[in-house]
Structure 1
Amino acid sequence: MTEEKAEAIKTMKSSGLTTMDTYSYMATEAGGEQNVGHNVVNHLNFCSRLRIEKIEAGDAQTLVNILNQEQPEDPNFFFKVKFDNEGRISNIFWRDSMMLEHYRIYGDVLVFDTTYKTNRYNLICAPFVGINNHWHNCMFACAFIGDEKT
């Protein structure tokens, strides 16, 4: 991806466009997806890296800002964040309206399984997962936990 395209994507994302809207715009301007110069997977990966960089730059506050932006778009979106004494995130929990609906329909059995500190922030990933009527996993909520205390 060229530096000019990367800057254009950053500008569009900062203006509030979604990742796929930015790709669609670039494809339209280039005269088709084949002329963009990168594929949709590269585009998605670049935008993911932008979001990670944004979170790393102001870590906790940026994450809270992103979560706050979701609430007006999804009235059932819920999150709770706890910070430690140094202002770092120690625990975070969230769920959106689709997760809530899946829980209401398929919440008879809930699996709570953690991975032990395998992410860059050294937090325990704790997804709340169930099985739908097609025997596929569906996520009910997710959390990152700083320690294993109650």
Structure 2
Amino acid sequence: MEFDSDLSAYSFYLEYGKITWFAASKIACRRSKATLEWVEAKFACTRYGTKRKTDARNPRPCMKIDCKAMLHIKRRQNGKWLVENFVKEHNHELSPDNVHYFPCYRKIAAGDEHNISTLHSVGVKASKIFAALAKQYGGYQNIGFLEKDMRNLLDKQRRLELESGDAKAMLEYFTSMQQVNPDFFYAVDLDEEQRLRNVFWVDAKGREDYKIFGDVISFDTTYITNKYKMPFAPFIGVNNHFQSALLGCALLADETTSTFVWLMETWVRAMGGRAPDAILN
């Protein structure tokens, strides 16, 4: 077979993998030393290769079992890409029922992305949006992406709004506050791409007040009044004059279980490890 470009060859191999029930990826490519143009590429089953030895305490799962299935192409002088080698056989069972879960085939179309963002901006929960998409496409397996992908899209949109310099300015302010008073506490939660997801802070007075008035705490995430539409979560106590005492604040990327676990663990750590007797929500 012959292709007009390496990208068209890769697209072909991805489509081939999808209809024959395996995940594919680009594993190698080579440039010409003389012209610096791409002249060679190799695409393969994602289970190609072997596991690397690691000293990590909790290594990531590795699915590589030295599968040899692959497509090897080379660029000719006329600019066309010709198949140099092709291995069809896999050394593992294929997955017709799970092929739509493979990351290489999961993609949110532009139209779906617009609808998801629009619905979420008016307060529709992600779970309900995904259920509506499943009904529209005739089943969850026909959507083309997972609910996790949709939630990542919404999270990414929030993070992108903070990249204009606001996140940097906020962290610089927290650092300066901590230099003025070492008892000022802040913590940030980063995603896999090292982008800011959640942030928590509490000043020295809030930490001192908690020691006295931290028996019962009010915690609420309904204050979505900032321009990023990110939940603002204050921790509120009441002093002996029945006045509110601010015991910490957080800006959250979402309201998932993992986010709340991070927030609560961080807040308790800021308060010396002592949890309150009760939390009102």
Q: Give per-residue Cα distances to partners, 1:42-67, cap 9 Å, x unaligned.
A: xxxxxxxxxxxxx9851111111111
Q: Runs of 5+ in structure 2 lacking a partner?
A: 1-161, 258-281
TM-score for the superposition, normalised by structure 1: 0.57
The one-letter amino acid paired with 2:187 is K
The one-letter amino acid paired with 1:63 is M
Change in Cα spacing, 1:87 to 1:59, as seen in structure 2 (3 Å) is farther
Change in Cα spacing, 1:143 to 1:129, as seen in structure 2 (3 Å) is same
User: Given the alignment of the two structures, is residue 125 of structure 1 paired with residue 232 of structure 2, yes or no?
Assistant: yes
- Show the 5 A alignment for 1:47-86: 58-84=165-191
SS for the counterpart of 1:133 is coil
SS for the counterpart of 1:110 is strand
Change in Cα spacing, 1:116 to 1:139, as seen in structure 2 (3 Å) is closer
**Could you say which residue in structure 1 is the equivalent of 2:220?**
113
| Alpha-carbon separation, structure 2, partners of 1:56 and 1:120 | 14
**Could you say which residue in structure 2 is the equivalent of 1:146?**
253
1:60–1:87 Cα contact (<8 Å) kept: no
**Larger deviation, residues 124-133 vs 110-119:** 110-119
Cα deviation for residue 70 of structure 1 reads 0.6
CA-based RMSD: 2.1
Q: Give per-residue Cα distances to partners, 1:74-104, cap 9 Å, x unaligned.
A: 1111101224467753211001110001110
The one-letter amino acid paired with 1:90 is R
Q: Runs of 5+ in structure 1 lacking a partner?
A: 1-54
1:103–1:140 Cα contact (<8 Å) kept: yes
- Higher RCO (CA-CA < 8 Å; seq separation 6+): 1
1:60–1:88 Cα contact (<8 Å) kept: no
TM-score for the superposition, normalised by structure 2: 0.32
User: Given the alignment of the two structures, is residue 95 of structure 1 paired with residue 202 of structure 2, yes or no?
Assistant: yes
| Alpha-carbon separation, structure 1, partners of 2:204 and 2:186 | 12
| Alpha-carbon separation, structure 2, partners of 1:120 and 1:140 | 23
| Alpha-carbon separation, structure 2, partners of 1:66 and 1:119 | 18
Q: Give per-residue Cα distances to partners, 1:10-48, cap 9 Å, x unaligned.
A: xxxxxxxxxxxxxxxxxxxxxxxxxxxxxxxxxxxxxxx
2:236–2:247 Cα contact (<8 Å) kept: yes
| Alpha-carbon separation, structure 2, partners of 1:83 and 1:60 | 12
1:114–1:125 Cα contact (<8 Å) kept: yes
SS for the counterpart of 1:115 is coil
Cα deviation for residue 116 of structure 1 reads 4.9
| Alpha-carbon separation, structure 2, partners of 1:88 and 1:117 | 21
**Could you say which residue in structure 1 is the equivalent of 2:31?**
none
The one-letter amino acid paired with 2:166 is D
